[in-house]
Amino acid sequence: MTLDDLGWNEAFAEGFAPFAERGLIPARLVRETKINFAALLEGGEEIDCVLGGKVWHEAENDADLPSVGDWVALDRGGNCDEVIIRGRLPRFSRFSRKMPGKSAQEQVLAANVDIVVVVTDPGGDFNLRRMERYLTLIERCGAQPVVLLNKADLFPEKDCMDAAGELRNLSRVAEIHVTSAREGRGLEVLRGYLKPGVTITLVGSSGVGKSTLVNQLLGGEWQETSEVNEVTGRGRHTTSHRELVVLPEGGLLIDNPGVREIQMWTDEFTLRESFADVEDLAAQCRFTDCKHEGDTGCVIQLAVEEGSLDPDRYQSYLRLEEEIEELNRRRQKRRMATERWAKRNRRVKARNLADRIELEKEERGEV
């Protein structure tokens, strides 16, 4: 298995040059658990690794941290037995959603993906609003969108075709296919996308058949054995973590745990940009410190009265600064946490060093 088989390209090689000088080795992250990562090396060896303190510390936000699909620089030569991630190479794409919970921040689901495949079915999971959100997110990430209407064996042909038609109306760029992972129908379309070095990620609700599709493409060997304990009464193998697998005939697939809701993430730049037209109006208000709430000569309120600015957008605009502040507050909180963490790490290191000096003294018979 060459680096190219794993998705390596010239841009990555260029980004890696300074790390190569330091004797580090390139690897692609294939799995992420709560405590560590697994990465694939040239040749196909899989190796466990942990995040280096500097990488953690220098990340501006969580989306900056390494994620499955990322190329990283590994340090195998340290004086501890752990392999350490010393850096992450710039990504050419990343598929993200809004972090679960209150924060509007970005959570990266898969990095360096060429194609995002949204899996749904023509029945209970089918939801145009949600599909619209998925397609917007894929567009934002710069990957090719593909939608699979899976479980076709359970639905009348007409339902499948109607659902496919509705999806086609939603997007001109998305490619829509009807499949049945159970009957092996339509799998050749997925195979068609999988070329050596091409990375595809599968996303969608829980239970739509993402892992079954991966399993079929891998020849039925994957996951079943490792997740036997999680089999429910219905024989389901709910995926618990993201994983990148390399197919024997080339191509890389990232399977994701099903997500209940997919929502837009945002940052200060996107937030501000989405209100650029309102900001332009604000610049025309009579007073530079106009609060746009009953001030005389307010062009924004005039626009609302005239009907050229949607009242809901006006309300959101009034809350814009507040929302940006909230985003930055969360970032600040994270920074404080990382600083505490780094301090603790330094203390542990210092203690280890002190212990070692003591030990060496002891061995030399100096105490």
Ligand X SMILES: Nc1nc2c(ncn2[C@@H]2O[C@H](COP(=O)(O)OP(=O)(O)OP(=O)(O)O)[C@@H](O)[C@H]2O)c(=O)[nH]1
- Type and span of the H or E element at 120: strand 115-120
**25, 39, 163, 208: which one binds ligand X (CB under 6 A):** 208
Residue 67: is it exposed, middle or buried by C-beta count within 10 angstroms (0-12/13-18/19+)? buried
Binding segment (CB under 6 A) for ligand X, from list 229-237, 243-251, 285-293, 299-307: 229-237
Q: What is the DSSP letter of 209?
A: S
Query: Which residue ranges make up the site for Zn ion (CB under 5 A)?
Result: 285, 290, 292, 298, 300
CA 30, 33, 37 angle in degrees (round to 5)? 45
* Shortest distance (Å) from residue 115 CB to ligand X: 17
> Considering the rule CB under 5 A, would residue 239 count as an interface residue with Mg ion?
yes
With residue 314 as reference, give the H or E element that holds it.
helix 311-318
If we measure between CA atoms, which residue out of 7, 74, 64 comes closest to residue 37?
74
Closest separation in Å from C-beta 236 to ligand X: 5
Which among 111, 118, 114, 116 is positioned nearest to 37, based on CA atoms? 111
- SS3 call for 239: coil
**Which single residue brings its beta carbon nearest to ligand X?**
258
Minimum CB separation of residue 242 from Zn ion in Å reads 46
Report, in this order, helix, strand and coil percent for the chain, each rounded to 5.
Answer: 40, 20, 40
Question: Quick one: which of 103, 105, 112, 211 contacts ligand X (CB under 6 A)?
Answer: 211
Among 153, 157, 188, 339, binds ligand X (CB under 6 A): 153
State the nearest-atom distance from the C-beta of 206 to ligand X, in Å.
Answer: 3
**How far, in Å, CA of 95 to CA of 7, rounded?**
16
Nearer Cβ to Zn ion (132/279): 279
Give the integer Cα–Cα distance in Å for 59 and 253: 26
Our CB check for Zn ion shows the closer of 77 and 297 to be 297
| Residue 258 contacts ligand X per CB under 6 A | yes
Least separation, in Å, of the C-beta of 124 and ligand X? 12
180 makes contact, choosing from ligand X, Zn ion, Mg ion, none, with CB < 5 to 8 Å by partner type, with ligand X
Residue 109 sits in the site that holds ligand X (CB under 6 A): no
Rounded-to-integer distance, Cα 96 and Cα 105, Å: 10
Question: Measured in Å, how far apart are the chain's first and last C-alpha atoms?
Answer: 53
Contact segment (CB under 6 A) with ligand X among 99-107, 148-156, 263-271, 313-321 equals: 148-156
Neighbouring CB atoms inside 10 A of 355's CB total 10
Shortest Cβ 26–Mg ion spacing (Å) = 29
The entry of Mg ion, ligand X, Zn ion, none that residue 300 binds, CB within 5 to 8 Å by partner kind:
Zn ion
Nearer to Mg ion, 24 or 254 (CB): 254
Element (H, E) at 10: helix 10-21
176 bridge partner residues: 147
* Footprint on this chain of Mg ion (rule: CB under 5 A): 210-211, 239
* Footprint on this chain of ligand X (rule: CB under 6 A): 150-151, 153-154, 180-182, 206-212, 235-239, 257-258
